[in-house]
């Protein structure tokens, strides 16, 4: 007899969701987390799209430690000395729980979700590091951690983007520098009222702002700024492949971003309280590993289930959904008494039928488009700046019609390039 029906490695969003759902269905579940408490090893940019957690814990935002509900979306294109921003403000359109999104801080949020799993009846052990899979005649029968060996019918690897265990299990290869980006982020403390005033928000309302161009110094990547209750998240994400060839270190790029004339006043007076970094899987379907094997499932970032579309980043809602669907698959396996890949492969079918792999398929060309359209990170922000400079510069020299102002600027980038990239982009993103 195995010690547990299921052992889940990693109490991030994917792992805790899976543990919660399985425990609630009456399975015996062990959840292992290497951090002292769930969340202390985890970093995100900022925004959780709530729809998938809403399905697992309806009304979760009422009790979970969410920071602010996003009502303001900003997308900015930056050059060294300018910033063009599209600002969409709507307190009502994204209000419904089915599409609401919230800023979250993982140390607190993950601890809450793990406690829900515990309440549902799962055993949570932290800190506990799963060192390797435990096998008997080749069959996975549990995990090893330090001196301990623990057995289960099935092991769910929700150990995050680095997933050392996913590699040891042979389900995935080492990550490619083209498929992951490195994110660095600062938590900047500011009083609630100042945040409200500065960003035009009421209590509880939040803003998300992504930046292209200057922040990544033309490399594939961008900057972000999210509002929490009493702090801001300011950060940068750049692919490891580009970063490896960079002349400037990542922390120095972040410093320049914070000092940018458009950003500096937004963070003025804020107190830096934490500096973190983490990888983001961005390879899309191209990096999708095998998602299951006999007695084994791969969840969330460990499975590369994450999408960076430039105007939005989504990994947390996919992680939650993958945890939910993995749990359903294990519950079916328990009913059938069959934990082989015959039943566990149903996990991938469930992902295919859900938004997770549907959305990743819809946006399957996004990673390629983003990586191979460097103009997005240099020429286009510069073009936007030039066009707006022409529009708003009044210096007494004879004015020209808008078209005449814009044409020579656009022809610098090339009309064909603009049309081609526009078409390709709107098909990929």
Partner 1 sequence: MNIEQKLSLNKFMVDEGNPHIVPHQDKMDQAAVNTLTVVCPAGLYTVDERGKLVFEVAGCLECGTCRVALAHLPGALEWNHPRASFGVMFRYG
Ligand X SMILES: Cc1cc2nc3c(=O)[nH]c(=O)nc-3n(C[C@H](O)[C@H](O)[C@H](O)COP(=O)(O)OP(=O)(O)OC[C@H]3O[C@@H](n4cnc5c(N)ncnc54)[C@H](O)[C@@H]3O)c2cc1C
176 interface partner picked from ligand X, partner 1, none, CB below 5 to 8 A per type: partner 1
| Least distance CB 277 / ligand X (angstroms) | 8
231 interface partner picked from ligand X, partner 1, none, CB below 5 to 8 A per type: partner 1
Q: Which position has the token pair 């692919």?
A: 239
127 interface partner picked from ligand X, partner 1, none, CB below 5 to 8 A per type: partner 1
Which residue's CB is nearer to partner 1, number 248 or number 402? 248
Which residue's CB is nearer to ligand X, number 45 or number 142? 45
Contacts of 31 (CB under 8 A, 6+ apart): 7, 8, 11, 15, 16, 19, 114, 117, 118, 122, 123, 124, 125
What is the enclosing helix (H) or strand (E) of 346? helix 346-353
Which positions lie near partner 1, rule CB under 8 A? 34-36, 39-44, 105-108, 110, 126-129, 145-146, 161-162, 164, 174-177, 180, 182, 184, 186-187, 231, 240, 243-251, 272-279
| φ and ψ at residue 362, rounded to 5 degrees | -55, -40
Please name the residue ranges forming H helices in 146-239: 164-168, 192-199
Which positions lie near ligand X, rule CB under 6 A? 9-15, 32-35, 41-48, 129-130, 158-160, 165, 183, 185, 235, 237, 278, 280, 300-302, 306, 313-317, 319
Give the Cα separation of 232 and 248 in Å (integer).
Answer: 24
Contact 106, 47 (CB under 8 A): no
194 interface partner picked from ligand X, partner 1, none, CB below 5 to 8 A per type: none
| Least distance CB 156 / ligand X (angstroms) | 11
| Least distance CB 193 / ligand X (angstroms) | 25
Which residue's CB is nearer to partner 1, number 13 or number 325? 13
| Least distance CB 391 / ligand X (angstroms) | 32
| Least distance CB 200 / ligand X (angstroms) | 21
| Least distance CB 272 / partner 1 (angstroms) | 6
Which residue's CB is nearer to ligand X, number 5 or number 110? 110
Which residue's CB is nearer to partner 1, number 159 or number 421? 159
Closest by alpha carbon to 7, among 122, 91, 95, 108?
122
Which residue's CB is nearer to ligand X, number 186 or number 301? 301
Give the Cα separation of 369 and 35 in Å (integer).
Answer: 36
> Nearest 5°: CA angle at 301, between 331 and 342?
35
- Name the CA dihedral angle for 13, 146, 139, 301, rounded to a multiple of 10 degrees: 20
| Least distance CB 194 / partner 1 (angstroms) | 18
Contact 196, 204 (CB under 8 A): no
300 interface partner picked from partner 1, ligand X, none, CB below 5 to 8 A per type: ligand X
Closest by alpha carbon to 224, among 208, 239, 242?
208
Identify any residues that bridge with 239 across adjacent strands, giving them in sequence order.
181
Give the three-state DSSP class for 210: strand
146 interface partner picked from partner 1, ligand X, none, CB below 5 to 8 A per type: partner 1
Which residue's CB is nearer to ligand X, number 6 or number 130? 130
């Amino acid at each position: 007899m195995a010690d547990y029906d299921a052992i889940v490695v990693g109490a991030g969003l994917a792992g805790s969701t899976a543990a919660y759902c399985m425990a609630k269905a009456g399975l015996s579940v062990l959840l292992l987390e290497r951090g002292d408490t769930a969340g202390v090893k985890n970093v995100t940019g900022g925004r959780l799209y709530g729809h998938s957690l809403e399905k697992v814990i309806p009304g979760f935002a009422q009790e979970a430690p969410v920071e602010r509900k996003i009502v303001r979306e900003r997308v900015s294109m930056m050059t060294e000395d300018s910033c063009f921003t599209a600002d969409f403000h709507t307190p009502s359109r994204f209000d419904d729980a089915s599409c609401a999104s919230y800023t979250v801080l993982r140390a607190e949020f993950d601890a809450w979700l793990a406690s829900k799993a515990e309440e549902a009846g799962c055993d949570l052990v932290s800190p506990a590091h799963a060192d390797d899979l435990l096998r008997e005649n080749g069959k996975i029968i549990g995990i090893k951690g330090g001196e301990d060996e623990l057995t289960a019918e099935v092991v769910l690897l929700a150990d995050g983007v680095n997933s050392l265990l996913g590699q040891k299990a042979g389900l995935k290869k080492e990550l490619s520098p083209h498929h992951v980006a490195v994110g660095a982020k600062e938590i900047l403390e500011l009083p609630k009222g100042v945040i409200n005033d500065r960003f035009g928000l009421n209590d509880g309302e939040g803003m998300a702002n992504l930046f292209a161009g200057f922040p990544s110094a033309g490399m594939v990547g961008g900057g972000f700024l999210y509002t929490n209750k009493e702090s801001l998240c300011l950060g940068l994400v750049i692919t490891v492949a580009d970063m490896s060839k960079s002349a400037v270190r990542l922390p120095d790029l972040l410093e320049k971003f914070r000092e940018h004339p458009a950003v500096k006043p937004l963070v003025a007076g804020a107190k830096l309280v934490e500096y973190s970094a983490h990888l983001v899987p961005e390879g899309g379907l191209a990096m999708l590993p095998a998602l299951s094997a006999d007695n084994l499932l791969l969840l969330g970032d460990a499975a590369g289930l994450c999408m960076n579309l430039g105007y939005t980043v989504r990994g947390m809602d996919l992680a939650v959904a993958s945890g939910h669907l993995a749990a359903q698959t294990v519950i079916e396996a328990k009913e059938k008494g069959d934990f082989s890949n015959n039943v566990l492969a149903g996990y991938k079918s469930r992902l295919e039928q859900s938004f997770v792999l549907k959305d990743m398929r819809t946006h399957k060309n996004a990673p390629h488009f983003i990586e191979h359209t460097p103009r997005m990170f240099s020429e286009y922000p510069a073009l936007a700046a030039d066009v707006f400079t022409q529009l708003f510069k009044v210096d007494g020299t004879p004015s020209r019609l808008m078209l005449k102002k814009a044409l020579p600027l656009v022809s610098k980038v090339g009309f064909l390039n603009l049309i081609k990239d526009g078409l390709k982009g709107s098909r990929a993103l």
